[in-house]
Every structure is written in C-alpha cells, then in structure tokens.
A and B are shown apart, each in its own frame.
Chain A
Amino acid sequence: MSTVQIVFLFVGFMILLAAWMMVSRSNLVHSALWLVVALFGVAVLFVLLEAGYLAVIQVLVYIGAIAILMIFAVMLTRGDVESLTHITNRYAGWAAVMGAFLLFGLVIVLGQWPAFQTTSPEAIESANPVLDLGMAFVSPDGFTVPFIVASVLLLAAFIGAIYAAFPRKKGE
C-alpha cells in the first residue's frame, strides 16, 4: 500500500466516524462540530486527489461559512433543544432493518456497474489547474454563459435568503 492509500483509508474512516457522531449526538452544537470534522476530512480527500483549489474552497466555504451559519441557526432556536430531542423513536429497529436491506441492494446493484471495474482515466496534466479553471470560466469558447448564469443564481439566492430570513413588518 502506498502512503497515499494509507492516508486515504485513515481519513475515510475519520469521515465515517465523524458522520456517525454527527447524526447520533443529541446536542445540536456537538453535531455541528462533528460535521466540521467530516467536512475537513473531505478537504483532505480533495488534497489527495491533487485538487488543492477545491480543498481550500471546501474549508473556506463549508467550515468558514456554512458550519458557522448552522451554529447561528441552532442558536436562533429557543432554548432547551437537548432534552426535547430523542434521536430514536419506537420504529428505530424497523428502520435499521430497512436500511440494511437498502444498503445490501445498493452494494449488489452498484457492484455490477461497469464504472467500478474500470480504472479512472489519468487526470489531465496541467501546469496550473486554477489558471485553466479561470480560462474555462470566462474565455469565449469556455463556459461563459454558465459563469454569468451562476452569478444570476447567486443573486437569486442572495435576494431569496434575505427575503426569507428578514423579519416581516406587520401587515406584510
């Protein structure tokens, strides 16, 4: 096994553990912090894929903004969330059985998918991937229209978020 594989296995295990801890905590802030661990693990996976830009973006956007947003959202809720939340109810056993069946089925179906048997094509060698990305965004024969559409989409998200989150005045 190469060093990269060992690191991959270690990080993969860490992500799975963090994800499990995240969904099984009854304390919402703890869940959010475990989510941060899982997201950081994903950033490490991006690094292993030699996608440094994505790794940095993962940390900047997901840990720096989205995790913070989530903790803020938790804090907006009033009070004693911990004692009100039961993470399981009486259907937990059935849900586990169904989940196991689903996983089993997925493993069988996906195991026959040819993409898993073929090795992935080698990544295109590039002196500066970020520069290529920039060129692809804005050069006329690249993704010009999607680039501008992305900004319109961001604008829509911006306005929508503010409209939804802003406290209404009476009679609005």
Chain B
Amino acid sequence: MLDNWLFIGIFISIAAVFPLLPIVIARFLAPRRPSLAKQETYECGMETVGDTWVQFKVQYYIYALVFLIFDIETVFLYPWAVAFDVLPLFAVFEGVLFILILVAGLAYAWRKGALEWA
C-alpha cells in the first residue's frame, strides 16, 4: 500500500526536476541583456496606469462557492459508487436522494440568478 504511494512521492520530485532542467539549461544558453523597457509590464505598448490589483466581480467568488459544494458532494458519492456492486437497491436510491437534494440547491442558485455571468 505505502509502496504505491512511494512511487507517487518519487514521481512528484522527478516530475518537478524534468521541467526545471530545460529552464536551467536555458538560463546558461540564453542571452541576458535586461533593460528597463524589456522589464516593464506588457500592456500592448502603453504604459500601465494604476494598480494591477483591480477589484474583481463577486461572480468569480460565487462560482467558486458552488464548485466547492459540488466538490464535497463528490467526496460523499465516490465511496457510494465504489461500493455499488454490493449495495442493495434501497442504498442506490439513497444515493439518488442525496443527489436530488443537491439539485434543489442548484435550482435555487439558478432561480436566484447566481449562475448568470453578468
């Protein structure tokens, strides 16, 4: 069991080394002549005005909230799906009920207009 995860642990470090290599190689091979103009923030040739940190629409946050709820829903449903073969019919409908209760939430969000972009 832990051996499987050892593989993934080593994989993470190797997977981080592989993309680092070309970046490091490029650092030695590529020319480096920094200048003020090059290091300016790119805004299609105009000078930037004001802060980068503009205030964002609340809509992004609402999408993230809805996503979080569905994420947690799947946490409950995946074990249900794994046990599916040995479940009685009653338990299958229980899972369906679980989904339907969340559909009510989605319907509320829809009615409320929380899924609209504008």
Contacts and interface: CB of A to CB of B under 8 A. Distances in A.
A80 B54 CA distance: 10
Given A137-B80, A159-B105, A4 B2 contact: yes
B68 A50 contact: no
Interface of B is mostly: helix
Nearest to A144: B94
A161 B70 CA distance: 13
Interface residues of B, number: 49
A113 B55 CA distance: 50
B5 interface: yes
Nearest to A52: B5
B108 A65 contact: no
A73 interface: yes
Contacts, number: 147
B91 A158 contact: no
Contacts of A66: 68
B20 interface: no
Interface residues of A, number: 51
B112 A162 contact: yes
A80 to B, nearest CB: 7
Given A61-B72, A134-B79, A138-B83, A154 B102 contact: yes
Interface of B: 1-2, 5, 9, 51, 53, 55-56, 58, 60-62, 64-69, 71-73, 75-76, 78-84, 86-88, 90-91, 94-95, 97-98, 101-102, 104-106, 108-109, 112-114
Interface of A: 4, 44, 47-48, 50, 52-53, 57, 60-61, 64-66, 68-69, 72-73, 75-80, 128, 130-135, 137-140, 144, 147-148, 150-152, 154-155, 157-159, 161-163, 165-167
